[in-house]
């Protein structure tokens, strides 16, 4: 007698059914990509160590401090065996602006962690018992990009982002680590950048020092978010009107020009303090904003990472650049 799919019978048939249902649930929760892979030593561990040795982590001391766990995805949450890796797009079709697209709405950490927690609960209900696991969205010592490639979600672009042939690269990555035997998806083993080097040529600060290698200390996203103290004067002109983060290396990518997805998640839609405003307006308003006004306007915003002091610092650079452009068009 044949067993019902996903309940009993052939282990192989049961496992295939579980993974299919898990991915379907991922899409139902609003994720745009989903894949499964085993945990273990990161294929990029040696490259990661080289990157650290070259000082490209800059002031992000938490990265080298947790390097050992980043080299092996079994270590961040011991006892787990597999990862369900997901991606959620944040609107690559949205227009350019002074704030990078990912930071215009609500904090993606909160949005995705909530969805991954819901996925975890759904899995437990489906299998009928508790499953040890933990969600990660830039919230622990995990190389999510490495896991995503292993789970078949895309390849590493020359601008270091993960690129998917159907969705481009304007998406967040997250992973649910679980102690559950699952059938892995085949890894993404091909590179589709070819001879293109638009991202490298377009970077205003030459932060892409070679294909697939980013010197964070030169990256505008690092300078306007992670940099402590004043931004080195040598980068002021290159920052232009970019107040928080930078999308340039993604905007020029042919895969995004063709396949970037429209914004679907309402939580990532630009908040009133940013929506429809140019660099001069946003920078000017931030420069005179009080702490209380900032807390209200940027509640649940990823921009709070730079704090109001950092945003005021950025605003001064941007307003000087705007003034200089007006004086010398």
Q: Kind of pairing, strands 162-163 and 155-156? A: antiparallel
**At 13, is the pLDDT very low, low, confident or very high (cuts 50, 70, 90)?**
low
Instruction: Please indicate whether residue 135 or residue 16 has the higher confidence score (pLDDT).
Output: 135
Q: What is the mean pLDDT of the chain?
A: 95
Report CA dihedral (228, 231, 235, 239) to the nearest 10 degrees: 90
Structure tokens at 150: 């292993």
Average pLDDT (17-42) is 97
pLDDT score recorded for residue 15: 54
**CB neighbours (10 Å) of residue 49?**
14
Q: What is the DSSP letter of 303?
A: G
Whether the predicted pLDDT of 10 surpasses 50: no
The catalytic residues are: 138
Write the burial class of residue 143 (CB in 10 Å: 0-12 exposed, 13-18 middle, 19+ buried): buried
Contact 104, 81 (CB under 8 A): no
pLDDT score recorded for residue 2: 37
Element (H, E) at 213: strand 213-214
Whether the predicted pLDDT of 80 surpasses 50: yes
- Single pTM value for the model: 0.93
Q: Give 188-227 pLDDT, tens digit per residue.
A: 999 999 999 999 999 999 999 999 999 999 999 999 999 9
């Amino acid at each position: 007698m044949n067993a019902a799919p996903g309940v009993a019978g052939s282990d192989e048939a049961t496992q295939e059914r579980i993974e299919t249902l898990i991915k379907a649930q991922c899409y139902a929760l609003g994720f745009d990509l989903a894949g499964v892979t085993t945990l273990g030593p990161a294929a990029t561990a040696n490259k990661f160590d080289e990157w650290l040795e070259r000082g490209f982590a800059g002031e992000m001391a938490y990265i080298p401090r947790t390097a050992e766990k980043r080299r092996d995805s079994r270590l961040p949450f011991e006892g787990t065996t597999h990862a369900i890796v997901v991606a959620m797009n944040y609107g690559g079709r949205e227009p350019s602006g002074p704030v990078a697209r990912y930071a215009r709405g609500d904090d993606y950490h909160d949005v995705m962690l909530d969805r991954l927690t819901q996925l975890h609960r759904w899995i437990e209900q489906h299998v009928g018992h508790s499953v040890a696991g933990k969600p990660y969205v830039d919230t622990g010592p995990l190389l999510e990009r490495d896991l995503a490639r292993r789970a078949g979600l895309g390849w590493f672009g020359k601008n270091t982002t993960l690129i998917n042939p159907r969705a481009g690269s304007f998406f967040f990555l997250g992973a649910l680590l679980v102690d559950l035997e699952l059938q892995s998806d085949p890894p993404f083993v091909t590179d589709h950048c070819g001879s293109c080097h638009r991202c490298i040529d377009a970077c205003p600060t030459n932060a892409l020092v070679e294909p697939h290698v980013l010197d964070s200390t030169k990256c505008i996203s690092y300078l306007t978010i992670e940099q402590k103290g004043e931004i080195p004067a040598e980068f002021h002109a290159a920052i232009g009107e970019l107040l928080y983060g930078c999308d340039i290396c993604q905007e020029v990518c042919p895969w995004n020009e063709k396949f970037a997805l429209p914004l679907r998640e309402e939580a990532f839609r630009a908040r009133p303090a940013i929506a429809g405003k140019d660099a001069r307006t946003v920078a000017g308003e931030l420069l005179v904003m009080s702490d209380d006004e900032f807390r209200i306007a940027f509640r649940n915003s990823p921009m709070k990472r730079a704090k109001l002091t950092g945003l005021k610092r950025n605003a001064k650079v941007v307003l000087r650049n705007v003034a200089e452009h007006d004086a010398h068009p």
